[in-house]
Amino acid sequence: MNNLARGDATPRDAAAMVDEYFAQLAAASAATGTAIGSDELTELRAHVSDRLKATPGTAADATQVLAELGSPEMLAHAFAEAATEYDASPDASGRRAAALTGRVLGMPYDVRPPTTDRVALRVWNPTDPRVLVPKAFGMGWTINFGALAVKAHLVRPDDEDDAFAAVPEGVVTATLAAPITVLVAFGVLAATAWSGLPATVPVHWSGAGHADGYSSRGAAVLGLALLAVVPVLAAGWVHARRRRAFNRVAASAVSLGFAVLSVAILTQTVVSARGGAGMWATWIGIGGFVILPFLLLVGTSRLGSAAERRRDLPTTSSKGRAL
């Protein structure tokens, strides 16, 4: 591992250390056959600059900030995996990125075919200080739960060398149980409420909680079922393909959010169809959409960082000497 990633102090000034890190990143990126885009490099340098501005700016401070990004080799590998759908040619990938990503009236869009790596990096990236990041596919923003966890002081940007990689395999697989459980709850609610629903049910509500949009019972329940089932099936596919722990845990978290939201909207529909008022079910669902995936990701990350610390502790003999 290089001295920047390891955190060794050096007599060089901070600017020289940052330049060397990005030179090593460029070399590592070239070795993977995938060039990192200029926008991404600009954002990375801006992130490092912002972090250093909050410190005295010594070489030790630069070492700490760069260590949060991980080694240049690991970072280059992450960029390479996120760009697997591009051609190896930097010019070709640059043209595609310019056409398929950008902003419209200030709102970001990304219509590249989504990849599990890109989705996972948008959902959990503690080294990115932005809580709201562009969606992995579509228009608008999504929540970077990693940045949220850092701001809540629940994790640190450099807690894990490789996100979730040290988490026990059984725990990684068990994360899929959470969205599956919520999906089963959706099925039970739909089955028990179906016969009591009228032919036309409310599907949209005003801010005051009054229904102002309606649909047939079948179309409403089917639409919500798809909202719950498709992400869970996608997460199951990611697990079945034995993708990296990072991808699998992120997929479980995303599918959990959508399953919870589907249950909440179905509950709102049932309550409104039976004459109930208010938007309490929807608000609970929105809260669950954020809080439950957040807790799953944070809990798994803390398990991973604890496992890494245990792994890195030197094994000592009974005489206290390192073996």
Q: What is the pLDDT of residues 168-191, one digit of tens each?
A: 999 999 999 999 999 999 999 999
Q: Which residue, 83, 102, 123, sits at the end of a domain?
A: 83
Q: What is the pTM of this model?
A: 0.68
Question: Are 190 and 305 members of one domain?
Answer: yes
Question: Are 192 and 287 members of one domain?
Answer: yes
Q: Which residue, 59, 83, 107, sits at the end of a domain?
A: 83
Predicted pLDDT of residue 116: 86
Does any domain span residue 72? yes
Residue 61 CA to residue 231 CA, distance in Å, equals 41
Q: Which residue, 83, 110, 135, sits at the end of a domain?
A: 83
Nearest to 33 by CA among 89, 95, 112, 100: 89
Nearest to 110 by CA among 144, 138, 143: 138
Q: Which amino acid is at 284?
A: I
Does any domain span residue 44? yes
Does any domain span residue 51? yes
Within 10 Å of residue 319's Cβ, how many Cβ atoms? 6
Question: Are 186 and 295 members of one domain?
Answer: yes
DSSP 193-247: HHTTS-SEEEEEE-TTS-EEEEEEHHHHHHHHHHHHHHHHHHHHHHHHTT--HHH
pLDDT < 50 positions in the chain: 1-11, 84-94, 315-323
Does any domain span residue 69? yes
Question: Are 180 and 308 members of one domain?
Answer: yes
Question: Are 180 and 296 members of one domain?
Answer: yes
Number of structural domains found in the chain: 2
Predicted pLDDT of residue 82: 58
Predicted pLDDT of residue 28: 76
Question: Are 70 and 203 members of one domain?
Answer: no
Does any domain span residue 129? no
Nearest to 160 by CA among 25, 310, 44: 310
Does any domain span residue 216? yes
Does any domain span residue 273? yes
Q: Range of 48's domain?
A: 1-83
Residue 158 belongs to what H/E stretch? none
Does any domain span residue 119? no
